[in-house]
Amino acid sequence: FYNYRENGSRVEYVNDDYVGFIKTHVLKLTTKTGDIVTAFFNTQTNVLLKKKSRTLIQGEIIEMEFYFTGYRFVNEMLFPFTIEIISDDDTVMKMVVEEIIFDETITDAMFEMPTKNSQE
């Protein structure tokens, strides 16, 4: 949603709806390529609880739902510590974040492939 106009997208308010028992504002973003993202924001906290995407990939329309939970403050900003992705009613990924660190030094060595253990 950030800089959506500059990116050639448009946003519209759809309605209010619920994610579980939580009331949300529903916004629809349509990109200049026709992809559609529907976002559900908590009406009390304004955090993103759910996102539905509809994207054309290799000639096929793919629909997915993303759920954002376990919000915690890190450096005075809220971050979801659990993200679950569902497609065709099946969880395809669930990511649980243990820690978010800012201003950490990242070296090239962190991206080197490990060597094969000779004991295998």
Instruction: Place 119 in a pLDDT band, splitting at 50, 70 and 90.
Output: low
| Predicted pLDDT of residue 81 | 98
| Predicted pLDDT of residue 2 | 86
Give yes or no for residue 44 having a pLDDT over 80: yes
Decide if 28 contacts 35 (C-beta within 8 A).
no
- Write out the E strands in 31-89: 36-42, 48-57, 60-69, 72-74, 77-79, 82-87
pTM: 0.81
Name the one residue in this structure whose structure tokens are 């990109």.
31
